[in-house]
Structure 1
Amino acid sequence: MTSNNTSIQVTEFIISGFDSVNMPVAVGVVILIVYVVGCLANIINILFIVYDKKLHKPMYLLICNLAVVDILYTSSASPTMIRTLVAGVKTISYVPCLIQMFAFNLGAVMEMFALAVMAFDRLLAISCPFQYHSYLTNGRTLILIFIWWVVGCCLAAVLPAIVTDLPHCYSVLKYAFCDYPAIIRTTCSDPEYYFNRIAITVFIILFFTFGFICLSYFGIIFFVKLSSSSDKKKMSSTCLSHLIVVTCYYCPVFVRSILTRLGVVLSLQERNGLIIGSFLGPPLVNPFVYCLRTKEIKYKILKIFTEH
């Protein structure tokens, strides 16, 4: 699947995805602010959960895991984009570029896995409230998280493995950072062949995790109908945080990953906007959603500001 173009030795890539942006510094500053606020909020969430033994429960361990995933996901590409926009440094070395691609895809896969496991946690808590803590212990939760991280690393490692075997004909990345489509387009190979190869895996992961979340909520709705009015209110409040987070993540991902495969053509600005929104939005929204809607965490925050 290689063309006749002469291959070159690439030691660094040139990022050109922001060349058409009118006010690059202003855009970079906005991304910087969102990135810093999102990381700080997630770190605070983690510290609250780690240092309060009362929060050492499966649900909070999963929230803590999601915060770690969010930090990884947004940190995989945000610093490179900020450096490109604010400092005007458009080059990135070959190996760091592959590491960035691995980290970005690991964050994307783990975000889906984390949301799917959290949906299962809510289903278990609502359908089996009395057996919940015997079914899902802290130890089992940590083992489940560890398994998903191993699976996520294996899946994310496939993409750099594909790229390293291909000769490069170009050194300019058309997109905003080192993601798989951008690097594939620098090779001497037919990009559609490699896009189609990986699209099957992406669709399976997307539909598996999103389908699992939907099935979990069908089960939750079934049990909610059998509950009293007070229990219904409590259950809906418990699940609303997760639904907000799921919507925030999956909407841009579905548009970018599925509609483009179905023939919808996105401009460079539209693609950049969707992909930036997918890894800046959830890490910013998630910690605030859980801080404001989880009474134990909200109580601790209020206590910090009112005790003095």
Structure 2
Amino acid sequence: MDTSSLNTSSFLSLQGLGLPPQGMYAAFLFATLSYLVILFCNLFLMATIIMNKSLHQPMYFLLFNLPINDLIGSSALFLQLIKEILLDSRYIEASSCIAQAFFIHVYGVGSVLILSAMAYDRYIAICNPLKYSTIMTNSHIAKIITLVWLVDLLLIGVLFFLLLRLPRCRSLISQTYCDNPSLVALVCADTTINNIYGLFITASIQVFAVGMILYTYLQILLACFKSKRSDTKSKALQTCATHLTVFLILECLGLFTIISYRIKQLSPHLRRMIGVSTLIFPPTLNPIIYGLKTKDIRQRINMAIRKTVNP
């Protein structure tokens, strides 16, 4: 594409992968296979929950939202990345860039909120088992899921409303994909409000999520130690270990990504790798971890595989 024909108000330039021409084939293969694996694993987990009535429980209704959210984030990244590699172009329409950034941030906030809601569900199930069925009714679960998505969309909607009101005078995105910090860097006006609101979202979501996890898991551990039934204790700890593993993977990658933006001396290539990893590893690992570690889901998957192999 002729750069002289670009209108900076309509097109933006992504930093690109920085690969030699012969490396683009490997990049295309890796991106395509990664996206297909993410699609297969998450859709398979969703289909398993939908098709098995024994999994139509509050825990799995909440879990069902996790692969939906993972597909939003991975699709926002990979569809644009694969298009960029195929067309050998680093240019993207401003509207497409903003849409990609919006859905990537919806994915980030949504992951934390969904995992927090799942921690609350496990807390009720283990610490108040006799009241679980009366508390976690279908209507209550529907309210929790609706609240999670509404809060997610509202927080990110305001973030991008604050961004879109500002004029843009630069066009080079410092990442291989679009996100809010990279778009704010293109603005030629005072971004103090944007920076404060961005930090507010990050801090409040982290305080809420980490506080929820610490409180619920402390109560769960205390309940497990008090319990005299070894089978109940083992099942509770296994379920919580699965949830905690997924949460820690997301938190570590998210923290590294946030810190990478604050360290100016960090290599741009390393910063881009950290950012992309947050959108690749959780969507890939989450359905695998839940499929292997959650007994009910593992049994249903094994039954589906046996029926396929020996119809």
Same fold (TM over 0.5): yes
**Higher RCO, 1 or 2 (CA under 8 Å, sep at least 6)?**
1
Structure 1 ranges of 4+ moved more than 6 A: none
- SS across alignment from 2:210: helix
Question: What residue number does 2:9 align with?
Answer: 10
Aligned equivalent of 2:51? 51
| 1:105 partner letter | H
Partner of 1:254: 255
Q: Partners in 2 of 1:212 and 1:183 — Cα distance? A: 31
Tell me, in whole angstroms, the C-alpha distance in 1 between the residues paired with 2:17 and 2:112: 28
Which residue is 2:245 aligned to? 244
CA distance in 2, matches of 1:201, 1:95: 23
What are the equivalent positions in structure 2 for 1:21-32 lying under 5 Å apart?
Answer: 23-32=23-32
Q: Structure 2 stretches of 5 or more lacking a match?
A: 1-6
- On the 8 A contact 2:260/2:271 being kept in 1, the answer is no
What residue is the counterpart of 1:282 in the other structure?
282
**1:256 CA drift (Å):** 2.3
Give the conservation status (yes or no) of the 8 Å contact 1:69–1:111: yes
Q: Give the Cα separation in 2 of the matches to 1:13 and 1:240.
A: 43
Aligned position for 2:164: 164
Partners of 2:26 and 2:66 lie apart in 1 by 29
- The code of the aligned residue for 1:103 comes to F
Query: In 2, Cα distance between the equivalents of 1:267 and 1:211?
Result: 33
- Which residues of structure 1 form unaligned runs of 5+? 1-7
8 Å contact from structure 1 (residues 163, 184) kept in 2: yes
Offset at residue 217 of structure 1 (A): 0.9
Identity of aligned residues (%): 27
TM-score relative to the length of structure 2 = 0.89
What is the one-letter code of the residue matched to 1:238? T
Work out the number of aligned pairs and report it.
Answer: 300
- Aligned partner letter, 1:13: L
Give the TM-score of the pair, scaled to structure 1: 0.90
- CA deviation map 1:179-223 (0-9, x unaligned): 011111112135677434411221111221122112111111111
Answer whether contact 2:260 2:266 (CA < 8 A) is retained: no
Q: How does 1:194-233 map to 2 (within 5 A)?
A: 194-228=194-228, 229-233=230-234
> Aligned in 2, Cα 1:196/1:25: closer, same or farther, shift over 3 Å?
farther
Spell out, residue by residue over 1:119-165, the C-alpha distance to the aligned partner (whole angstroms, 9 max, x if none): 11111111011221211112211221011111111111123212221
Aligned CA RMSD, in angstroms, stands at 2.1
1:53-87 CA distances to partner (integer Å, 9 max, x unpaired)? 22111011011111111111111222112222354
